[in-house]
Amino acid sequence: MKPPIHTPREIISRARPRNKLTATDTGDQLWNKFNTNRLEDLDLTEEQRVAVRRLTVFEPLPSVKRVVFICTPHRGSYMASNFVVKFANKFLNLPGGLVKAAVQLEKLRQPGVLGGNPITVPTALDNMDASNPFVQTLSGLPIAPGVHAHSIIPVKGSGPPEQGNDGVVKYKSAHLEGVESELVVRSNHSTQSTPETIEEVRRIRDEIAREHGYDMTAIVQALQCAERASGRQPVALPPKQLPKGPTDRNTA
C-alpha cells in the first residue's frame, strides 16, 4: 500500500537542501553511499528493512510539479563547520516522526548487522555540512522529469556571483545545473524579504496560473488528476478549532 500524500503543487524551499527529495528519484544511490550490500540481501526483519529504506530511498511526490530553491545550500554551508554550530548540533531534537526510525536504526548499528558505514538520522545542521555523505550524494542527483525547478540565489556585494556568498551559503553551493531559471539577488541570506525575490516568486507562480488560463477551477482539476494518477490517498486534515476563553476578543 502506497503512503498518503499531501497536495501542494509547488514547493518553495528556503535553505533546506533535503526538500529536493520531494522532486528527486534517489533509487539506491543514497544507500550505496553507506553500504555495498544490497538491502534485500541483509538479514533484517521487515520492520527494520522499512526503517532503513525510509531514510535512504526516496521517490518524487507525484503532486509536486514545480520547486523554487531560495538560498538553498545544496552542497552545504561553510558555516556548518564552525565549532559553535557543531556544538549546538548536539542539542537539536529529531522531528517526532523520525524518533522511532532512529531507535530502530540504533539497534541495527550492532557490529556485522548492516556492514559498511553506520547510518544515522541527520539533523538540520547535518544537512548543511558539506562533508556529509547525504549532502554530497543528493547534490549530484537530477530533478525528476516533469518537475520545473528554479533557483533564487542571494550574493552580497557587487563582485562576480561565482566567487560570492550571502554570508552563510556560497553561490557555488546554491547553484544547480538544469534548472529552468536562476536569479542572483544582491542580498544577504535573508533574501526572502527583498523586493527582487518576492517579485521572482510571483513571476514563477504566474507561470502556473498562465498554464491553465488563470482559471482556478482548471488548476484544482489538474491537481486532482495528478493525485488520482499517483494511486495515493491525499492527506485530509480537519480544520483547527480556535480556543475559546478569556483570550477571545470582543468584536461587538
83-97 per-position pLDDT tens digit: 444 444 444 444 444
Given a cut of 90, whether residue 80 has pLDDT beyond it is no
Bigger pLDDT: 113 or 166? 166
Measured CA to CA, the distance from residue 220 to residue 183 in angstroms comes to 29
Instruction: Please write the tens of the pLDDT for every residue from 47-61.
Output: 878 878 887 888 888
Average pLDDT over residues 160-180: 94
Q: Which is higher by pLDDT, 8 or 174?
A: 174
Distance between CA atoms of residues 234 and 61, nearest Å: 11
Cell of residue 186, nine digits = 544582491
Give the max Cα distance, the chain: 70
Q: Please provide the average confidence, as pLDDT, over all residues in the chain.
A: 77
Average confidence (pLDDT) over 238-252? 59
What is the pLDDT averaged over residues 233-239?
69
Both ends of the chain: CA-CA distance in Å? 51
State which H helix or E strand residue 181 sits in.
strand 181-185
Element (H, E) at 43: none
pLDDT given for residue 92 in this prediction: 45
CB 127 within 8 A of CB 17: yes
What's the whole-model pTM score?
Answer: 0.72
Main-chain dihedrals φ then ψ at residue 112, nearest 5 degrees: 85, -5
pLDDT value of position 76: 86
Query: Percent of the chain having pLDDT more than 70?
Result: 71
Most confident of 53-57, 119-123, 140-144: 140-144
Residues 212-235, mean pLDDT to the nearest whole number: 78
Could you tell me the residue ranges of all domains in the chain? Answer: 1-6+60-75+149-237
- In this predicted structure, the answer to whether residue 198 has a pLDDT above a threshold of 90 is yes
